[in-house]
């Protein structure tokens, strides 16, 4: 712990290098993550988290680039966590439009981080939760989390945000439309990007219709997800989305929904911590001889996977609590 204290102090005082270092630590070191989060946790809870998701090619990053500018104009200190779709393999290569966004990094009031998952089973979700806290505790009062809304894990992350924006564009393919449909239920705001393109009306009507099915639910909640049209090339083109985000925040705070959602987020978070702790242990165990042999028996059909799992869990018990 002692060794981490100076770094944490620096981060809390807003030192970007220290913040980046802390995020890397929580990404890679279970033990240190535990220490860091415990230490900074009392300083968290001030930041408002906006999730931005949508199918590939919907122009999320370009929108985000402009949203950062608008938020800065209103004095927010902005943190950005970009979930990189390639991360499971490349360790988080930045995409072209992500790079464009990076120009904000020179702004002391903006911190941008691209997250890479380490293996599956909650690794990415856990790292993202921890990174949000570090940025929160370091004084970034508005945090954007960008995901490509396709994978389960990515969607699980974005739906824990205080406000969720679903970005779409006219003229996406069959499969992409389906992905979009899959995201409808998590969205508080719909943005139709590239609204200068042909087919905007169609997308608009699609969304309107989809929302109709949920009318009752929205009535009860007292919030009907707005559908805003944006053209991410200009600040002006993004302003309607920015205004919608602010309106939704007011609604969340005044209606008490914010607390509800943060309770949900906390629950998801505790779950992912447990999941990744256990997943890590299992990895270690299966790398060892004894449990490794079990796998061999499964391959040879001497043992079925469920029975093997049970045997491994017995050992897991000792490893986790013994």
Restricting to residues 295-314, name those near a second copy by CB under 8 A. 295-296, 298-299, 301, 304-309, 312-314
- List the interface residues with a second copy, window 198-257 (CB under 8 A): none
Is 186 a binding residue for a second copy by CB under 8 A? The answer is: yes
φ, ψ dihedrals at 289, nearest 5°: -60, -65
Which residues have CB under 8 Å from 216's CB, separation 6+? none
Q: How long, in residues, is the chain? A: 322
Q: Minimum Å distance from CB 73 to a second copy? A: 27
Name which of 39 and 247 has its Cβ closer to a second copy: 39
Q: Minimum Å distance from CB 108 to a second copy? A: 27
Name which of 243 and 304 has its Cβ closer to a second copy: 304
Is 197 a binding residue for a second copy by CB under 8 A? The answer is: no
Identify whether the C-beta of residue 70 lies closer than 8 Å to the C-beta of residue 238. Answer: yes
Q: Minimum Å distance from CB 311 to a second copy? A: 9
C-alpha to C-alpha distances, 212 to 65, 87, 200, 209, 304, nearest whole angstrom: 31, 36, 18, 5, 47
DSSP assignment of 172-190 equals --HHHHHHHHHHGGG-SEE
Instruction: Name the residue among 245, 25, 274 with its Cα closest to residue 125.
Output: 274
Q: State the binding string over 80-109 for a second copy (x if CB under 8 A, else -).
A: ----xxxxxxx--x-xxx------------
Identify whether the C-beta of residue 33 lies closer than 8 Å to the C-beta of residue 128. Answer: no
- The stretch among 5-13, 63-71, 221-229, 273-281 that binds a second copy (CB under 8 A) is 273-281
Is 4 a binding residue for a second copy by CB under 8 A? The answer is: no
């Amino acid at each position: 712990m002692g060794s981490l204290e100076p770094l944490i102090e620096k981060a809390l005082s807003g030192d970007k290098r220290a913040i980046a270092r802390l995020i890397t630590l929580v990404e890679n070191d279970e033990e240190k993550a535990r220490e860091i989060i415990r230490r900074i946790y009392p300083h968290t809870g001030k930041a408002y988290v906006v999730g931005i998701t949508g199918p590939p090619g919907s122009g999320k990053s370009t929108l985000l680039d402009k949203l950062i500018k608008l938020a800065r104009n209103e004095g927010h200190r902005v943190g950005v966590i970009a979930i990189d779709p390639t991360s499971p393999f490349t360790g988080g290569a930045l995409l072209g439009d992500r790079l464009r966004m990076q120009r904000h990094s020179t702004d002391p009031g903006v911190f941008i981080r691209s997250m890479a998952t380490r293996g599956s089973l909650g690794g990415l979700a856990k790292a993202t939760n921890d990174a949000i806290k570090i940025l929160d505790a370091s004084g970034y009062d508005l945090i954007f989390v960008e995901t490509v809304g396709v994978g389960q894990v990515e969607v699980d992350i974005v739906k824990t945000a205080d406000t969720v924006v679903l970005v779409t564009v006219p003229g996406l393919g069959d499969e992409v439309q389906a992905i979009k449909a899959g995201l409808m239920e998590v969205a508080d705001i719909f943005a139709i990007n590239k609204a200068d393109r042909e087919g905007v009306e169609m997308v608009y009507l699609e969304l309107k219709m989809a929302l109709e099915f949920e009318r009752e639910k929205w009535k009860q909640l007292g919030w009907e997800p707005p559908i805003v049209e944006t053209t991410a090339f200009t600040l002006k083109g993004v302003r309607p989305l920015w205004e919608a985000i602010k309106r939704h925040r007011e609604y969340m705070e005044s209606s008490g929904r914010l607390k509800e959602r943060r309770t949900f987020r906390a629950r998801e978070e505790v779950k992912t911590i447990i999941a990744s702790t256990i997943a890590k242990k299992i990895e270690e165990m299966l790398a060892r001889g004894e449990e490794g042999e079990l796998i061999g028996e499964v391959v040879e059909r001497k043992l079925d996977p469920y029975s093997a799992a049970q045997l491994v869990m017995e050992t897991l018990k000792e490893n986790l609590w013994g």
